[in-house]
Structure 1
């Protein structure tokens, strides 16, 4: 890493630690040495970047701008390194992606394995995030891409691809509602049910629809894990909720999966995106293209299934 970026990295480390002493310990430096380096930088920069507090430090407005600049510079530098590696014929790189947990069990592992079959030198970081945290990951450059259901803000989110995802109900095969090809939300909420927690997009859609139903009982279980919900409905005559990309309809494990009528809950959208106006690293840009193709194919398959 270039020397000027190294100094900025130290400033980011101090900001993260909230204390020069703690950051120095983490970096195996003396507090005085780290303080002098920051002071020299501030003199050259022409402004202080930290607000000194009784028990530590925090970035001031100038420091926030500086750290954001550093993250952009670091990202651009890594992108150029990967492009040069591509030019030299060395197929390597790294893809970091923030995703809704619905894409974690089936869709994303298959897509990563498919990509690495063609580019075995590329590694991946997968961060399971709720819809607000996924967007924050893009802004802080913690992730290159986000694949998230019903994003919250979209201020810095540049949409690469979008695919509709209706809400499905999960239940044991001997549940009374399993006799139907589609279910109504009122019937799902009439008995015990498992509800996703509020940060999740599925909960947002169900909450909007359930607000129109009077006398809705409270969930017997509220959790931020669709996997827990999937297993719990097999233990009690309860109903859980998920979107299609998080389900494996070919499995035979005693689970019945039925669409919730879109008269009750409108389909949400799964969006693939990146930070607005950011030039992605080569490997991430190529993986985004593969995901776009896969999502488009999934949408076509869903439309054909509805018309069959």
Structure 2
């Protein structure tokens, strides 16, 4: 088998990620015939079919799975090499891709990036928001370098560089009676007050749903939304309560705009924030430096 070049590997990965040759061609901005021909050449080179073709698109064969893992490693190592060569040339520019939950955004920018950019002015950033599930997938697929998420499920594709316990809390208007308690149960909250909740795929909602099911309580929020800002505004407008870790509402707490009390359900007490990278990936220097800085400076990763 001849060595697979970077162009062939990128097209192959695009077909895997997009689910079809036509979608991959649109994503890459080339004709579908070019992608189809490249995949055919790659399969001929490998000597085995890489895709199971169906009316719905394509799926990986066993050989395709092996080539996909190889392709990711090759392109990741190429990125590391390119950064190292740039440093030898005296070029300090690098780019780090980050995906995080919305609740981490203020903490990330105000406590970490605002300082880091002054120390390493040659690094630029791509920053996107996502649910816990989306953050994990982005990291595992190599679409971003660093992920920051709340209470992700165990995933062997991912390595957590920093983990910090961040209990889930009741966030309520300042005059809410439950704020007088030392701690409260989820059952108390969702049976006594209207509440808003993040949509499925977020770590907060996964936790709330699991505890509610254990108590035989249906989860029926007045508002469900992908936006934490909506949750904050819901509470500050006096419409009801919501559930978030403390760091997600630290600005509002400092302003005295709302109140907070920890939930005492054991599963919610043990919830945690994770700083993640792809497992078994050799990290570029820029990613290593930034991830270490985030772990040291972000409030979400301080016990």
Q: TM-score range by the shorter chain?
A: 0.7 to 0.9
1:150 aligns with 2:151: yes
Question: What SS class does the counterpart of residue 233 from structure 1 fall into?
Answer: helix
Structure 2: unaligned runs, 5 residues or longer: none
Question: What SS class does the counterpart of residue 143 from structure 2 fall into?
Answer: coil
Give me the whole-angstrom Cα distance separating, in 2, the residues matched to 1:134 and 1:60: 26
Question: What SS class does the counterpart of residue 219 from structure 1 fall into?
Answer: coil
Alignment correspondent of 1:231: 233
Give me the whole-angstrom Cα distance separating, in 2, the residues matched to 1:46 and 1:14: 19
Superposed displacement of residue 283, structure 1: 0.8
Bigger Rg over Cα: 1
Give me the whole-angstrom Cα distance separating, in 1, the residues matched to 2:286 and 2:44: 39
User: Contact 1:92–1:119 at 8 Å: present in 2 too?
Assistant: no
Give the number of equivalent residue pairs: 298
User: Contact 1:157–1:273 at 8 Å: present in 2 too?
Assistant: yes
User: Contact 1:95–1:283 at 8 Å: present in 2 too?
Assistant: yes
User: Contact 1:167–1:244 at 8 Å: present in 2 too?
Assistant: yes
Per-residue CA distance 1:217-271 (angstroms, 9 max, x = gap)? 7332233322111111223341111102212255426322233346784231111
User: Contact 2:212–2:219 at 8 Å: present in 1 too?
Assistant: no
Structure 1: unaligned runs, 5 residues or longer: 301-308
Give me the whole-angstrom Cα distance separating, in 1, the residues matched to 2:100 and 2:220: 28
Q: What TM-score do you get using the length of structure 2 for normalisation? A: 0.84
Per-residue CA distance 1:49-99 (angstroms, 9 max, x = gap)? 233445754443322322231121111101111122234443221112222
Give me the whole-angstrom Cα distance separating, in 2, the residues matched to 1:72 and 1:101: 29
Superposed displacement of residue 163, structure 1: 0.7
Give me the whole-angstrom Cα distance separating, in 2, the residues matched to 1:112 and 1:292: 12
Give me the whole-angstrom Cα distance separating, in 2, the residues matched to 1:18 and 1:207: 31
Alignment correspondent of 2:109: 109
Superposed displacement of residue 134, structure 1: 2.1
Alignment correspondent of 1:305: none
Q: CA RMSD in A?
A: 3.0
User: Contact 2:94–2:123 at 8 Å: present in 1 too?
Assistant: yes
Q: What TM-score do you get using the length of structure 1 for normalisation? A: 0.83
Superposed displacement of residue 287, structure 1: 0.6
User: Contact 1:184–1:264 at 8 Å: present in 2 too?
Assistant: no
1:242 aligns with 2:244: yes
Give me the whole-angstrom Cα distance separating, in 2, the residues matched to 1:96 and 1:121: 14
Superposed displacement of residue 212, structure 1: 5.1
Alignment correspondent of 1:95: 96
Give me the whole-angstrom Cα distance separating, in 2, the residues matched to 1:185 and 1:112: 34
